[in-house]
Amino acid sequence: MADILLEGRDLKKHYPVTKGLLQRTVGWVRAVDGVSFTIERGKTLSLVGESGAGKTTVAKAILLLERLTSGTILFEGKDVYKFSKSQLKMEYRPSVQSVQQNPWSSMDPRMRVRDIVAEPLVVNTKHTKEQIQSRVKELLQQVGLAPNHADYYPHEFSGGQRQRIAVARALALNPSLVVLDEPVSALDVSIRAQIMNLLKDLQEQYNLSYLVIAHNLATVRFMSHNVAIMYLGQIVEYGEAEEVFNRPLHPYTRALISASILKLPEDDVQGVQQIILSGEMPSPLNPPSGCRFHTRCVEAMDICSKVAPEERVIGQQRVKCHIYDDPSVQSALSSGFQPGTEGRPQPS
Amino acid sequence: MVRFIIVRLLQSVIALVGIAMLIFVLVRVSGDPALMLATATSTEEDIQQIRVNLGLDKSIPEQFWIFVTDVVKGDMGESLFKKKPVTEMIAAALPNSIKLILPSWVVAMLGAFLLGVLGATRRDGFLDNGVKFIAILGQALPGFWVAIVAVFIFSVTWQLLPTSGLGGPSHYVLPVFTLAFFLLPGMMRLVRSSMLDVLDSEYIKLARIKGLPERMVIWKHALRNALIAPLTVAGVLFAMLITGAVIIETVFSWPGIGFIVVEGVLARDFPLVQAIVIMVAVFVLGINLLVDITYAYIDPQIRYQRT
Amino acid sequence: MSNVILQVEDLHTSFFTRAGEVKAVDGISFYVREGETFGLVGESACGKTVTGLSILRLLPEPAGIIVGGKIILEGKNLLELSKKEMREIRGEKISMILQDPMTSLNPVYTVGDQIGESVRQHQHLPDDMVETEVVSALRLLGIPAPESRLHDYPFQMSGGMRQRVVGSIAMSCRPRLLIADEPTTALDATIQAQYLALFRDIQKQTDVAIIFITHDFGVVASICHRVAVMYAGKIMETASTSTIFKTPKHPYTSALIHSVPRLDRKDDRLYSIEGQPPSLLNLPPGCRFAPRCPDVQDVCHKQQPPEVEIGEGHTVSCWKVK
Amino acid sequence: MQEKDSDPETAAKPVISGLSRRARIMRKLTFIVPVIILSIIILVAIFADLAWLGLPDVRLAPYDPEKISMRDRLMPPFWDEEGSTDHLLGTDKMGRDILSRLIFGARISLSVSLLVILITSFIGTVLGIMGGYLGGRTEAFLMRITDISLAFPPILVAMLLAVSMGPSFTTVVLAISLLGWAPYARLIRGETLRLREMDFVAQARVIGTSPFRIMARHIFPNIINPLIIIMTLQIGLLIITEASLSFLGVGIPPPAPSWGNMVNDGRNLVDTAWWISTFPGIAIALVVMSGNFFGDWLRDTMDPRLRQL
């Protein structure tokens, strides 16, 4: 069993929809509806999906910025919601840090870089001023910035440099897990590569676990060991990154890959057929019945609109799709059959 | 929409009760009216007797309860000096106030919108700097001083207009324009800045991309969106004028609400002052609600959100 | 070969700010043919959006000024037209799609109004005819049930649907040239794929020429026929899309493509260009990319390289290429 | 709708403010002139007399502002034939020297405004930040107070207090401050709501920073700009309010030479002794205009986004 740092079990976050005079609750927006995953120590799990998938809500729940409606978060096996205030302060908060998406708003414009990077230490430790300052200089060096940058204000830096400062701040308390919410999507292409390489090096150097929230599949493939494809609050496919990308099982995963892959019209990339989804993204207010993807799925069957699919385990991958209800299809698949390119596997 | 109105009404009632309590206590604390009524010869017992029949001997919460029950019955108490029901006096003064405030408000709003929009569309042009100068001048000159100087020039030296008091249309000119001159600058700056924000938006850029003439871009697309913020302030401004125009009313001895409030306070006629403040509060909160409802007609999204 | 719709020759656009002259576009030339999608690709502040705005002469007043060059549309130099003549061209001959669908539509008017407005402005049709034009524009962009949707307000629509409405506005008068400034950047991947497929069809039906401005190479690969790679206000290389991806000649182009993470393979380390893009206030004398270029020679620091044509429609501005 | 791949070019567009040359000179003027006027008046107010240094009779003003000399009453300014250089700006109906009263009036008006600004900005900021950041009851309480303050123009409140506690310097300060903090609270609350949504506040919460430290260390430093701008704009408004109160007889009690009293003195002598009301009126206008010009300049240089102030 891999060394599991943090586990999410059947996480749910529902927002009440109220109407009428007395604010009667008439429905629920099930932003996160039964999501389970594990983050292994030193490894990266990515939550991938389009807007409304609920990936940012999951990240906020782990950072304790939002309270879950139900489900448990286990940190090193212990239920986080049962942590006492001091346990939270001593054990959980220092070991779980985050880097936000927008470099222009994730730093207090009125503070110098020295104070920004030092704040986690000032709030959580009793170190002296000198100790903190030397630690700050060390952190800046690790993220590729010069020690004298500590005296500048955030607006004097480029987007890429600011993300480096954000990473330095996240490392201040030697965390074991860093939640990266769209860490590079606001950056230029060339700067993106610099930051992604930096994050990977730091992961190897400090055995850090990452939870990456992203919508760009190529970035995810480069960063992740495991990946969870999310759609409208549910995980539709979960598994090791290489397997999911080489052999996508769920029709939505295939559509996402087809839409994100960098492919010239005249070339044909092995194993990826051109899928253009129809219809609009359904609103989370009233998600489609049965399988939530059936309204846009190219391979939708009539059962899909009635019954929500069970989660099936095929090889190392977990998938929620009625295609795989038929056991013979499962066995065909587990013997290395490549779905998608030759159309749906015919039950033997 | 109904739910929204009811919630807003509830909030207004809470605020009204707050105002009533505040003024009730403030008036009681500000000196003992009985003394004002007592003549030089009245003895200690007489004064005590006055207090009793005015009900001032009871504790303030008790007095407040009695006052509330009276108000519900429509009786807001009697003016100590004019010996007339207070509601009567208000009914006489309110129309005069409205006759002064409404034209000034209309003149000020029209002026503010016109100059604000023109100022915004010709940035740093001659007009824009002119508009800015009037705005600063208007806010700088104290209302009462402008009134006095206006009276001096138009009534005294040129004898064109009457110096004060109610009467024919010529009586309105000076008070209305001095009050409008006081209101104009604040509103003009607000309209100008709201207009500048809207003109920076993407849909205005798209309107120009469509090849629409500039006047259509400004008067059709930009203005309607820029109306929203200034509208709330305009509504509130109108309501506040009821008591806010007190200076202009005193200078022109215009028998409006402001005028009788000043008299009421100086004479410690607390039933009158109480009634006026509460009546004004109802007026202010009512206009506030009216403004919120008209919001819906300007911005369809708010209309949908609130149904 | 279809004929050329737009010819841009040595275009110079600068912003005059308190801090000095920002040379946003410093001498670029390119042409766009009928029925062709020409990509303007580059990182932020490379001048691609400013180029689009210069063509429509909609630069922010009073700072943005076109200081030189020609923009020729069907034989007429747009820079010599009067304000009134230019206004007739906007929306009728050339139209534009902006980046963020959430803010491009006026929130207080219905979708039908906003499309009908440009039809009325340019085609002077009676009202009943305007409505049929609006419905046909909505149908062209694949919006379901156009007859009812035209009464909706923008806030009642998803991002993808609003961007189609902006597309309908742009195509309502069947322009000769459409400038699309990052139209899919704010959309999700699958919705983006839908939008790009839609415009490929529209181009087949209407033969409209498209200038597609983007920073995303995936978008370039899926919709552009020819591409110009821009850096700090200049065009580094112009070529057909497959040449740009397969056999780029300019060091910046190959470095840029090389640093894009690939979905079809697993890299353990990404190639990244060191350093930062130059500030447009004080540009280096020689080639703009010299400070960051892996194949830099000392002539690159002294003099700007000429634009050299090295193949059919393939031009490069680099001293390494003779 | 979460933004995908927002194109960094739009986010990092260079700040382009192409003011023409003439506009740039105008901008410099709107800074230098008001600063000069304000500093002159502040100096005049401080050195009106050195009583606060224990030298009551050493003073800048030519005469004691309250010295009555009926002999030279209603004397016009010196450039008038009946005027004399003893009383440069003439005298009022009690023969008091207008210039000296103006100088001492400056001290009164400025001290009232300064004191009120300090009180109202403090209360407004504290309640604004707490209302904006903590929300819930504090915010509901705050919103009701702002509703109430709409129905209570400062003049009415001032009159009530003046009548009850007797007109005095403290009454005026208290009256204006009682509800004067509402505009500060409203604006600071709006700014706090905007800041609360920004990532760096969420970031501070993630590392376990206490709400108090977030308000003090992150929210407060970021609202200092709008706060300073309102304070400068308030200078003018408060001087007018003080003058209006004195004009209505509920402000600083005569014979103290507040500018409002002086305008009131000359109120019905406008045709015969125009200078009695005119000079204080000009003084008020000068100070208020400088305050507003300086406030505008501050706002444009510090944070143009706050245009609507």
Rounded to an integer, what distance in angstroms lies between the CA atom of residue C141 and that of residue B134?
A: 50
pTM of structure: 0.83
Residue pLDDT tens, chain B, 307 long: 677 778 888 888 888 888 888 877 777 766 666 666 666 666 777 777 777 776 667 777 777 777 777 777 777 777 777 777 888 888 888 888 888 888 999 999 998 888 888 888 876 677 777 777 777 777 777 778 888 888 878 887 788 777 777 777 888 888 888 888 888 888 888 888 888 889 989 999 999 999 999 999 999 999 988 888 788 788 877 877 777 788 888 888 888 888 888 888 777 777 788 888 888 788 878 887 887 777 777 777 777 666 5
When pLDDT is averaged across residues A167-173 and rounded to a whole number, the result is: 94
Q: What is the pLDDT of residue D45?
A: 86
DSSP B52-81: HHHTTTS-HHHHHHHHHHHHHTT---B-TT
Q: Among A196, A259, A280, select the one facing C270 at the smallest CB separation.
A: A196
pLDDT(D33) > 80? yes
Q: Do B124 and D19 touch (CB under 8 A)?
A: yes
- The answer to which of A171-175, A324-328, D279-283, D290-294 has the lowest mean pLDDT is A324-328
Rounded to 5°, angle at Cα D16 from D14 and D20: 160
Residue A281 · residue C162 · CB < 8 Å: no
- Give C104 to chain B, closest Cα distance, Å: 4
According to DSSP H, which parts of chain B are helical?
A: 2-29, 33-37, 44-54, 60-72, 86-121, 126-140, 143-150, 169-199, 202-209, 214-216, 223-226, 228-244, 246-251, 257-266, 270-298, 300-306
User: What radius of gyration do chain D's Cα atoms show?
Assistant: 24
Q: What is the pLDDT of residue D17?
A: 44
Residue B101 · residue B238 · CB < 8 Å: yes
pLDDT tens-digit series, residues C222-263 = 999 999 999 999 999 999 999 999 999 999 999 999 888 888
Q: Do B210 and C169 touch (CB under 8 A)?
A: yes
Residue B186 · residue B193 · CB < 8 Å: no
Residue A41 · residue A207 · CB < 8 Å: yes
pLDDT tens-digit series, residues D168-182 = 888 888 888 887 888
Tell me which of D203, D205, D215 to substitute to probe the interface with A (most A C-beta atoms closer than 10 Å): D203
- Give D215 to chain A, closest Cα distance, Å: 12
For chains B and D, count residue pairs whose Cβ atoms are closer than 8 Å. 151
Count of alpha carbons within 13 Å of A215, Cβ hemisphere only? 27
- The answer to which of A139-148, A189-198, A275-284 has the lowest mean pLDDT is A275-284
User: B 215-254 residues with CB below 8 A of C?
Assistant: 221, 224-225
Rounded to an integer, what distance in angstroms lies between the CA atom of residue B245 and that of residue D72?
A: 37
Rounded to an integer, what distance in angstroms lies between the CA atom of residue A345 and that of residue A330?
A: 9
CA closest to D24 among chain B residues = B124
pLDDT tens-digit series, residues C276-308 = 778 777 788 889 898 888 888 889 989 889 999
DSSP D27-81: HHHHHHHHHHHHHHHHHHHHTSEEGGGTEEEEESSSS-TT---GGGTTPPPTTST
CA closest to B10 among chain D residues = D144
**Residue D206: enclosing H or E segment and its boundaries?**
helix D199-206
Q: Do B193 and D307 touch (CB under 8 A)?
A: yes
Q: Do D163 and B124 touch (CB under 8 A)?
A: no
Q: What is the DSSP letter of B158?
A: S
- Give C301 to chain A, closest Cα distance, Å: 22
Specify the length of chain A in residues: 348
Residue B247: which of B147, B97, B180, B105 has the closest Cα?
B147
Residue type, B61: P
Q: Among D23, D147, D308, select the one facing B190 at the smallest CB separation.
A: D308
**Residue A96: enclosing H or E segment and its boundaries?**
strand A96-99
- Give B294 to chain D, closest Cα distance, Å: 19
Residue C138 · residue C168 · CB < 8 Å: yes
User: D 210-269 residues with CB below 8 A of B?
Assistant: 236-237, 240, 243-244, 247-250, 263, 267
Residue A252: which of A274, A230, A271 has the closest Cα?
A230
User: D 10-49 residues with CB below 8 A of C?
Assistant: 10-20, 24
Q: Among C87, C104, C121, select the one facing B206 at the smallest CB separation.
A: C104
When mean pLDDT is compared over B71-80, D7-16, D202-211, the highest value belongs to D202-211
User: A 139-198 residues with CB below 8 A of D?
Assistant: 158-159, 169, 173, 185-188
For chains C and D, count residue pairs whose Cβ atoms are closer than 8 Å. 62
Mean pLDDT of chain D: 80
Q: Do C17 and D18 touch (CB under 8 A)?
A: yes
Residue type, C307: E
When pLDDT is averaged across residues D291-295 and rounded to a whole number, the result is: 83
Q: What is the pLDDT of residue A346?
A: 44
Q: What is the pLDDT of residue D235?
A: 81
Q: What is the pLDDT of residue A337?
A: 52
pLDDT(A347) > 80? no
How would you label B236-258 residue by residue, b for 16+ Cβ within 10 Å and e otherwise? ebbbbbbbbbbbbbbbbebbbbb
Q: What is the pLDDT of residue D303?
A: 64
Rounded to an integer, what distance in angstroms lies between the CA atom of residue C238 and that of residue D303?
A: 42
**Higher-pLDDT residue of B159, A7:** A7
How do beta strands A70-75 and A44-48 pair? unpaired
pLDDT tens-digit series, residues A268-280 = 766 677 788 887 8
Burial of A173 from C-beta contacts in 10 A (0-12 / 13-18 / 19+): buried
B6 touches chain A (CB under 8 A): yes
Let me know how many helices (H) and strands (E) chain D has, helices first: 12, 2
> Alpha-carbon dihedral of residues C107, C111, C115, C120, nearest 10 degrees?
-90
Tell me which of B1, B3, B7, B306 to substitute to probe the interface with A (most A C-beta atoms closer than 10 Å): B3
Q: Do B206 and C117 touch (CB under 8 A)?
A: no
In chain C, which residues have their Cβ closer than 8 Å to the Cβ of B301? 107, 153, 155
pLDDT tens-digit series, residues D104-162 = 888 888 888 889 999 999 999 999 999 889 888 878 888 777 777 766 777 777 777 77
Q: What is the pLDDT of residue B13?
A: 84
Rounded to an integer, what distance in angstroms lies between the CA atom of residue A83 and that of residue A71?
A: 15
Q: What is the pLDDT of residue D14?
A: 39
User: C 268-297 residues with CB below 8 A of A?
Assistant: 268-274, 276-277
Mean pLDDT of chain A: 87
Q: What is the pLDDT of residue D9?
A: 38
What CA–CA distances, in Å, run from D183 to A323, B235, D149, D150, D186? 63, 17, 9, 10, 5
Q: What is the pLDDT of residue D16?
A: 39
B133 touches chain D (CB under 8 A): no
Rounded to an integer, what distance in angstroms lies between the CA atom of residue C119 and that of residue C169?
A: 9
φ and ψ of C16, to 5 deg: -95, 105
Q: What is the pLDDT of residue A161?
A: 92
Q: Among A50, A197, A296, select the one facing C270 at the smallest CB separation.
A: A197
Rounded to an integer, what distance in angstroms lies between the CA atom of residue D45 and that of residue A19?
A: 61
Residue A180 · residue A23 · CB < 8 Å: no
According to DSSP H, which parts of D74-153 are helical?
A: 98-134, 136-151
Residue type, D239: I
**Higher-pLDDT residue of A193, B299:** A193
Residue D7 confidence class, pLDDT cut points 50, 70, 90: very low
DSSP A5-68: EEEEEEEEEEEEEEETTTTEEEEEEEEEEEEEEEEETT-EEEEE--TTSSHHHHHHHHTTSS--
Q: What is the pLDDT of residue B256?
A: 84
CA closest to D4 among chain C residues = C186
Rounded to an integer, what distance in angstroms lies between the CA atom of residue A234 and that of residue C257?
A: 34
pLDDT tens-digit series, residues A10-56 = 999 998 887 766 677 777 888 899 999 999 999 999 999 888 888 99
**Higher-pLDDT residue of D260, A237:** A237
User: What radius of gyration do chain A's Cα atoms show?
Assistant: 22
Q: What is the pLDDT of residue D5?
A: 37
How would you label D205-232 residue by residue, b for 16+ Cβ within 10 Å and e otherwise? ebbbbeeeebbebbbbebbebbbebbbb
* Structure tokens, A120: 């986690």
Residue D12 confidence class, pLDDT cut points 50, 70, 90: very low
Q: Among C259, C263, C276, select the one facing A193 at the smallest CB separation.
A: C259
* Structure tokens, D152: 């209570």
Q: What is the pLDDT of residue B120?
A: 83
Chains touching C, CB cut-off 8 Å, 3+ pairs? A, B, D
> Alpha-carbon dihedral of residues B278, B284, B288, B294, nearest 10 degrees?
120
Rounded to an integer, what distance in angstroms lies between the CA atom of residue C181 and that of residue A146?
A: 37
Q: Among A193, A256, A280, select the one facing C189 at the smallest CB separation.
A: A256
What CA–CA distances, in Å, run from D54 to A47, D59, D66, D102? 75, 11, 19, 22
Q: What is the pLDDT of residue D305?
A: 59
* Structure tokens, B187: 């509103």
Q: Do D147 and B11 touch (CB under 8 A)?
A: yes
Specify the length of chain D in residues: 309
B122 touches chain C (CB under 8 A): no
* Helix, strand, coil shares, percent, chain C, to 5: 35, 25, 40
Residue D3 confidence class, pLDDT cut points 50, 70, 90: very low
Residue pLDDT tens, chain C, 322 long: 678 999 999 999 999 887 888 999 999 999 999 999 999 999 888 999 999 999 999 998 788 999 999 999 988 999 999 999 999 999 899 999 999 998 999 988 999 999 999 999 888 888 888 999 999 999 999 998 999 999 999 988 988 999 999 999 999 999 999 999 999 998 988 999 999 999 999 999 999 999 999 999 999 999 999 999 999 999 999 999 999 999 999 999 999 998 888 888 888 888 888 877 787 777 888 898 988 888 888 899 898 899 999 888 899 999 988 7
CA closest to D2 among chain C residues = C186
